[in-house]
A and B are shown apart, each in its own frame.
Chain A
């Protein structure tokens, strides 16, 4: 079974631009979550989607948004990029409905903002 797939693997953007990252979950997984990983803050929860609805949201500004499609694939968008948005963005999926089934992560998209 294929794992969580994230595209692109690397991105370089300029301050003020916006970016869209894509995630395809493991087949059969209907919940998708996004995390930001930086050396200073570690892994921080951004948001979770299930059935095209945002279920939970972390403590990030409104510039960070996401959505989920009917096939469970997800995208996250960051608008008006800041230097501090440079990070590894990780997508994770799980089987929703079981009591807190574990998350399985993709290899991330490395975003660099210059």
Chain B
């Protein structure tokens, strides 16, 4: 079993929908949680970066971390066709640079 699990999708939604992306993990040492977006033929682009449990909002994006359940989420409001990409969760222990990634969820937002 992988340390970080993420549903590969694809997840197909209509434009304007609220999207929910999730990851579960098994390593309780993880304290830093990130969401990256990756377009085809591009590198991952950092979307959200959170420490420990709680919520963080940035524009249409909200990240939630529940360390007690070892579960993190990314919500995208008013989804746009330009949001179509693969979304990767990543996490690391304190002061570590070794990110452990989920396998990515492919999202398709249809006009």
Contact residues of A with B, CB < 8 Å? 4, 31, 33, 35, 42-45, 48, 55-56, 58, 90, 92, 94, 99-100, 102-108
Asked if A106 and B95 sit within 8 Å, CB to CB, the answer is no
A107 and B43 contact, Cβ closer than 8 Å, known pairs A42-B104, A43-B88, A102-B34: yes
Cα–Cα distance between A94 and B90 once the two chains are bound (Å) = 15
Q: Which residues of A contact B42 (CB under 8 A)?
A: 107-108
Cα–Cα distance between A102 and B94 once the two chains are bound (Å) = 12
Asked if A4 and B43 sit within 8 Å, CB to CB, the answer is yes
25 A–B contacts from the bound complex (CB under 8 Å): A4-B43, A31-B97, A42-B104, A43-B88, A43-B99, A45-B99, A48-B97, A56-B97, A58-B98, A94-B97, A99-B95, A100-B51, A100-B92, A100-B94, A100-B95, A100-B96, A102-B46, A102-B49, A103-B34, A103-B46, A103-B99, A105-B43, A105-B44, A107-B41, A107-B43
B101: interface (CB < 8 Å): yes
Contact residues of B with A, CB < 8 Å? 32, 34, 36, 41-46, 49, 51, 88, 90, 92, 94-104
Asked if A42 and B49 sit within 8 Å, CB to CB, the answer is no
Nearest A-chain residue to B88, judged by Cβ: A43
Nearest A-chain residue to B4, judged by Cβ: A42
Nearest A-chain residue to B42, judged by Cβ: A107
Cα–Cα distance between A42 and B106 once the two chains are bound (Å) = 13
Count of inter-chain pairs, beta carbons less than 8 A? 57
Cα–Cα distance between A9 and B99 once the two chains are bound (Å) = 23
Asked if B101 and A108 sit within 8 Å, CB to CB, the answer is no
Report the minimal beta-carbon distance from B69 to chain A, rounded to whole angstroms: 22
Nearest B-chain residue to A4, judged by Cβ: B43
Asked if A48 and B45 sit within 8 Å, CB to CB, the answer is no
Q: Which residues of A contact B92 (CB under 8 A)?
A: 100
